[in-house]
Structure 1
Amino acid sequence: MEIEIATIGGYEEVGRQMTAVRAGEDVVIFDMGLNLSKVLIHDNVETERMHSLDLIDMGAIPDDRVMSEIEGDVKAIVPTHGHLDHIGAISKLAHRYDAPIMATPFTIELVKQQIQGEEKFGVENDLVKMDAGASTRIGDDGVELEFVNVTHSIIDAINPVLHTPEGAIVYGLDKRMDHDPVLGDPIDMDRFREIGEEGVLCYIEDCTNAQKKGRTPSESVARRHLKDVMYSMADYDGGIVATTFSSHIARVKSLVEFADDIGRQPVLLGRSMEKYSGTAERLDFVEFPEDLGMYGHRKSVDRTFKRIMSEGKENFLPIVTGHQGEPRAMLTRMGRGDTPYELEEGDKVIFSARVIPEPTNEGQRYQSETLLKMQGARIYDEVHVSGHLNREGHYEMLNALEADHLIPAHQNMEGFAPYVELAESEGYELGEDLHVTRNGNVITLVE
């Protein structure tokens, strides 16, 4: 069976992930993501109103025109999880393919919301829910799609595996090896080892943290770190504000619980904070207190800030958007003094997140922190663990899968270098069975 892999997006940057695998006449697309940094550098860009070609020219979504070179029919579009760099282009591109969108329940719900917010294109692809651990047939030539449970900084994440007569194609974006997660099941390493024994033709791997020694800590480690930080503030009688990734439901859960422990009422503020936490609660992935407030609309947020100022900042923990310094996010507005919440000397701001290592984010985060410090805020930085594998996790995956071919992804050329060095130490050879590629290329594995 002929096997080709089109590396469409995410092979020159962190963002706008998209990969297509052709097995015979059947094609499966993994991810259709957005590169948010390419949007943020423009003022007042509303992607939902823009044409896909304009977003492609901006470098914001994958240029999928290479798909015209792929001989076969697209049978499925499979986003691995609900982060925007994996689902943010579905509303712009999916309508071009007569294929269902297949994902886990939480991811499908987020995709549905993306589609509902789209104003330029009508996306009518079927939305098919499939749980981690499940499999389904693709086409009529013995190809099967399997979802393997992984742990990441968002719930309900999977690594899809395409089983072909030539061996498995494992699409390894994004994960960490968490054997003690705060929410959900541990990573299914037993299944990865079984797949390795069955035979892996190609492993496509997110190599974001390949330069970092050791292993990525569990989310339970971040929870203990956060608990230590927040308990140390139990006697502080001023304002405490926390920010984290809106999609990081396990972290939001910990923030809510520890706020209550130190006698403060948590409240979630910001559109994406309300969206992700509200969706997770509605789908029974998490249980929050019945009286937990979630407010996304600006007027509702400002009313809540006024109530906090009236009843006393010492009684509340606002959990807000803005950990990357996004210009219109809650924390950035607070730093500019654009909300009724008044920061004062000594107030605490907890960044339960790290800066995404990209110039736009780094610049915006620096500006946001500077504004906060000018108002007297004390910054607690990187109360966090990564959602991506460090070096030892990569070694473990390579040993588990023993893939015939490797394709590094989710980075630029500089970011690929540590993974190439790591893979070469395991016996892979660049240009032979280790393929460093670019957006828009097609790699033929079996002719």
Structure 2
Amino acid sequence: MTPTLLQRYMNGSLVLQIIIGICAGILLALFAPETALSLTFLGSLFVSALKAVAPILVFVLVASAIANQQKGTHTNLKPVIHLYLIGTLLAATTAVVISVLFPTTLVLASTDIQATPPEGILEVLNTLLFKIVDNPVNAIVTGNFIGILAWGLGLGFALQHANKSTKSTLHDVSSAITKIVHIVIRFAPIGIFGLVAQTVAETGFSALLGYSQLLLVLIGCMLFVALAVNPALVYFKLRTNPYPLVFKCLRESGVTAFFTRSSAANIPVNMELCKQLDLHEDTYAVSIPLGATINMAGASITITILTLAAVHTLGIEFDIATAILLSVVAAVSACGASGVAGGSLLLIPLACGLFGVPNEVAMQVVAIGFIIGVVQDSAETALNSSTDVLFTAAACRAAEQKQ
């Protein structure tokens, strides 16, 4: 029986289809921008579908993984969390070094930003704490993944003493939702086609030319972390060539995250990739949604580089001790960054406060961040999200080597 066009599409190479979607989106936007803008609903529909299924997926998968966990099973969560925190701190430190080597001057102007940044680290930590104890229904509705994770863990532990039929039902529900996620992800090429067409048609990237040096420093730093710092951490963990795993994570997680610009929306993609890599479900069911909240290397880079650009522009001198403190503040603040587009930018005034940068200037830097966000936030999310899978895989395979 000859396969239908839909069957060929569903069984084809997802990466190849995404590449074709990107190229088609760029060409359509360049030669028929009005048509490209009329197809923006394709991208919005795809991102909305991911965001809709992600909260339920995380809640059920986490609860099922914990409830069905066998006694004495090691979930490898501790080493994953260590990698998350060390990776975020190293990314911030790398950003400090690169900012000193390649200082950037910003052109500041009076700009109003309709947003309220946090006043200090305590406020960031306070927000995280209240997210943990959020109402479970509200957490699912609003996409509060730290709250979803907390309730999923709680329900899972409570159901560990349930009868086998209850655990089996929960596992079946988890498998069913995973299949729905798989179907949504198969339409990624069409969604990314719409996102690329919309971005190129609306901006043409002309607005980014005035900030080319800042973008080069930002993207260069993120590439260095993705291709040098993270592989070094993985090599330290596995003692084998890390690049096949690094490139697979960047290709199959980073590309999708680049265009959705949302760590939360990329959770289903990462779950699917972890399944392909044959990782321990009890580990990635928790580590992936947790990584979308606390594994924020890209966010720490953005906070650090934009803050030091403001400091350099104003001619403020700083010492190594202050730079190290900035790295710590950026890493901690990044963990409080929202899992949605632009989540890290409102934390810049917090970091600027370390150097006495006026809040009016800091908010102008935030405005610049939104201008370059088409590229900056996309690259930031790609680094953050792909690293979630990379570090989870590294921890799982390191545990396998010890067995």
Give the TM bin, normalised by the shorter chain.
under 0.3
Report which of the two has the higher share of helix: 2
TM-score by length of 1: 0.20
TM-score by length of 2: 0.21
- Write 1 or 2 for the structure with the bigger share of strand: 1
State the structure with bigger RCO (CA 8 A, min sep 6), 1 or 2: 2
